[in-house]
């Protein structure tokens, strides 16, 4: 096995939103960064592709303006049920629609221009001993690092190696994503409920409509294939039926991921700082997973910089502050997301909820605020 003897300042396992924002931020402060990502860029991913404006100042600070690449400005949220009850409200902060194909690729190019080394390989083991890490990859051998950030996504073989608690729980959800062309307002993000799940829609930079739905795998497997499930379940919501019947597929076939879990995770495992979905995943109906990943990258980067500058005196102090900061920023959001999702899973109750939301129009914007953060201030960078 090849051993890379040089101790790298920071190795980031995973090159998605959290991993790349970490890499760019750290590189701005002269910290040596290696990102290990198993996939090549650009690549489509199963994702809602809506980003809250709370992270827009931070992306600009990193050197990326999503609107240069055609991101759609979104200011309105639409919610519907299978019985065609519908409510529309202004988004408190607003956001933008952009595909992961484009956003990840542009962050990847920005990271390279900042001197970040990005290796396409798979990590098969992470060990910590004598105050340093050893990262074993499938192809390139062993790397040594002072700090390791886990940003490898929702679920991985690494989680099993680390014996993380959440990996022992059921992961009963399946998500499906595709792009279609059709008629849809570019300033709207819509969430259409159906029995056993919900489907989000919003436009992205090339005028495609991103269609992404999540359902319980137990419900899904009752049907012979995806088309059968969509026609028998999703089409019960007339809004979804209209979209599917009056649009043209862009992808040759939809993308799917399974074994999705919304269980609690720890933001620090075996001294690894976890970011993005690796640290905790909010229900997609809250529409805020992408901005949470970016925000978690900022939190980790700031503290790692303080650690290398000597302002944080020890690894244990770094881990304790990061865990506290992460929980302060995200734990309540995740809790609200779980509560809202559990209510929407109750088919008849979701109809009653819609009646309540219509009767109290300020309630929906209030709920949205509970799952989103405040705009990141410039002096926080």
Q: Is residue 191 within 8 Å of residue 169, measured between CB atoms?
A: no
Q: Is residue 372 within 8 Å of residue 333, measured between CB atoms?
A: yes
pLDDT, tens only, 270-320: 999 999 999 988 877 666 889 999 999 999 999 999 999 999 999 999 999
pLDDT beyond 90 at 379:
no
Tell me the whole-structure pTM to 2 decimals: 0.93
Q: pLDDT-based confidence at 351, cuts 50/70/90?
A: low
pLDDT beyond 70 at 210:
yes
Positive or negative, the Cα torsion across 322, 328, 329, 331? positive
Cβ neighbours of 63 (radius 10 Å): 14
Q: pLDDT-based confidence at 222, cuts 50/70/90?
A: confident
What is the pLDDT, as a whole number, of residue 99? Answer: 98
pLDDT beyond 90 at 264:
no
pLDDT beyond 60 at 1:
no
Continuous segment of H or E residues that includes residue 101? helix 100-113
Give the Cα separation of 278 and 272 in Å (integer): 11
What is the pLDDT, as a whole number, of residue 186? Answer: 96
**Which is more confidently placed, 158 or 346?**
158
Q: What is the DSSP letter of 55?
A: G
Q: Which residues contact residue 170 at a Cβ distance below 8 angstroms, ignoring those fewer than 6 apart?
A: 261
What percent of the chain stands above pLDDT 70? 94
Mean pLDDT of 220-242: 92
Give the Cα separation of 359 and 348 in Å (integer): 17
Selection from 73-82, 105-114, 188-197, 227-236 with the highest mean pLDDT: 105-114
pLDDT, tens only, 76-129: 999 998 887 889 999 989 999 999 999 999 999 999 999 999 999 999 999 999
What is the pLDDT, as a whole number, of residue 118? Answer: 98
Mean pLDDT of 126-141: 95
Give the Cα separation of 135 and 46 in Å (integer): 27
Mean pLDDT of 41-66: 95
Continuous segment of H or E residues that includes residue 356? helix 347-359
What is the pLDDT, as a whole number, of residue 367? Answer: 78
Query: How far from 166 is each of 280, 293, 309, CA to CA, in Å?
Result: 10, 19, 34
């Amino acid at each position: 096995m090849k051993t890379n003897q040089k101790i790298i300042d920071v190795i980031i396992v995973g090159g998605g939103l959290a991993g790349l924002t970490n890499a760019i931020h750290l590189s701005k402060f002269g910290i040596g960064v290696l990102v290990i990502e198993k996939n090549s860029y650009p690549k489509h991913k199963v994702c809602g592709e809506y980003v809250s404006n709370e992270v827009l100042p931070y992306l600009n600070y990193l050197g990326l303006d999503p609107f240069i690449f055609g991101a759609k400005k979104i200011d309105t949220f639409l919610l519907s049920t299978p019985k065609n009850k519908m409510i529309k409200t202004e988004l408190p902060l607003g956001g933008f629609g952009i595909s992961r194909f484009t956003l990840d690729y542009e962050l990847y190019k920005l990271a390279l221009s900042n001197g970040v080394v990005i290796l396409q390989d798979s990590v098969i083991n992470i060990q910590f001993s004598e105050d340093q890490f050893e990262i074993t990859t499938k192809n390139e051998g062993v790397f040594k690092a002072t700090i390791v950030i886990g940003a490898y996504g929702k679920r991985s073989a690494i989680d099993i190696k680390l014996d993380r608690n959440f990996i022992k729980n059921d992961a009963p959800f399946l998500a499906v994503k595709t792009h279609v062309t059709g008629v849809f307002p570019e300033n709207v993000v819509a969430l259409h409920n159906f029995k056993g799940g919900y489907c989000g829609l919003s436009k992205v930079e090339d005028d495609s409509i991103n269609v992404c739905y999540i359902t319980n795998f137990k419900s899904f497997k009752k049907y012979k294939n995806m088309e059968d499930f969509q026609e028998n379940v999703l089409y019960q919501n007339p809004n979804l039926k209209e979209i599917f019947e009056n649009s043209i597929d862009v992808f040759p076939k939809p993308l799917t991921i399974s074994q999705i879990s919304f269980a609690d995770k720890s933001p620090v495992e075996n001294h690894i700082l976890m970011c993005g979905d690796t640290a905790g995943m909010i229900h997609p109906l809250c529409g805020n997973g992408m901005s949470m990943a970016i925000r978690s990258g900022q939190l980790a980067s700031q503290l790692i910089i303080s650690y290398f500058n000597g302002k944080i005196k020890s690894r244990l102090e770094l881990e304790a502050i990061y865990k506290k900061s992460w929980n302060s920023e995200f734990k309540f959001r995740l809790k609200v997301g779980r509560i809202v999702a559990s209510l929407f899973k109750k088919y008849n109750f979701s109809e009653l909820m819609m009646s309540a939301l219509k009767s109290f129009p300020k309630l929906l914007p209030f709920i949205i605020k509970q799952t989103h953060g405040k705009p990141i201030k410039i002096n926080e960078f």
